[in-house]
Structure 1
C-alpha cells in the first residue's frame, strides 16, 4: 500500500476503526499465541480499556474475534490472519467504505441534497474512490499488515 494511500485511508477512518485495526493487527502479529486480555492490549497499544472492550465486543459479534474465559482468558482472532482483510474490520466498525451514501454498494441511498442522481457530476468520482479503496483494503490481510513495520515508501 503506498504511503499516500495509507494516509488518505487513515484520515477517513473513525478513531474506533483505527483502534480496531491496530488491535487486530496486534493479535495477528502474535501468530497463534495464547489469548490476550483487553487490559494487556490496551496497555501495549495505549488504547482506553473501556473503549477497546466495546470494540472487541462488536468484533466478537461479527465473528472476527473469539473470547476465552478464565485466568488465562482473553481474545484471539477467529480465523487465520491471512483470512481476515482490513475492509472486513472497517465495515463492521464504521460501516460502508464509500464517502457518500450514493456511492455505497451495501448501504445505497440518494444523498439528501441531490437533485437528480442520474446527472450528479460527483457520483462517478465517488464510486471510483470507493472501488479503489475497497480493492486495497480487501486485498490487504491482517497477516500482511502485521508483517509491515511501517507503510512502504512510494516507488519513484
Structure 2
C-alpha cells in the first residue's frame, strides 16, 4: 500500500498556510498526473482563495512551499492559456483571469497534460508488436475521455469549497 501526501490549506484569510498530511492509500492510482499539473492546480487554488486580489509569484512560492522558478514556468503557461492574468512592476502579481466558478478542472488538466496517454503505443507508432491486432488503445482512449469528462464536472471553486469543508480527508 502506498503513501500519498496531500496539502490542505489551514487558513483562508488573506494569507494562506499549508500543512502536509499523509494518508494511506488502499490502492495505487490508475492515472498519475505530472508534478507540473499538481503545482498548477495548487497555484490556481491559492488564487481562487484570493479571488479578486493579486499575489506575487514569490508569495505564492512561499505559501505553497514550491520553487519560485518552477511556479514562474507554470504561471507563464497559465497566462498564455488565459487562466490567470499577470501584471508586471512594483505592484505586479498574478490573479485569476475569470471567476473560479468558470474554470473547470478538466480544462486545467488538458492544458497541463497535453500528452495524457496511458500507454506508449498510443503516442509512438511501432512501439508494440501487437499494435495491428490490439484494440486496447481504443478502450484506453475512451477511458481517458471519461476521466476528463468527470473532471469537467468540477470547477476550481468546487476544489476550494471541498478543501474548506474537508476535515480529515484530502
Higher RCO (CA-CA < 8 Å; seq separation 6+): 1
Quote the Cα distance in structure 2 between the aligned partners of 1:128 and 1:151. Answer: 34
TM-score by length of 1: 0.76
2 CA distance for matches of 1:143 and 1:65? Answer: 15
Unaligned runs of 5+ in 2: 1-24
Match of 1:113 in 2: 128
- Answer yes or no: is 1:126 the counterpart of 2:140: yes
Q: RMSD of the alignment, in Å?
A: 2.7
- Give aligned pairs, total: 141
Q: What is the aligned partner in structure 1 of residue 78 from structure 2?
A: 59
Specify which of 30, 39, 58 is matched with residue 19 of structure 1: 39
Moved over 3 A (4+): 100-103, 108-111, 114-117, 150-153
More strand by share: 2
CA 1:151/1:121 → structure 2, altered by over 3 Å: closer, same or farther?
farther
**1:43 and 1:67, CA in 2 relative to 1: closer, same or farther beyond 3 A?**
same
TM-score, normalised with respect to structure 2? 0.70
Higher helix share: 1
Q: 1:49 to 1:120 in 2, by over 3 A?
A: same
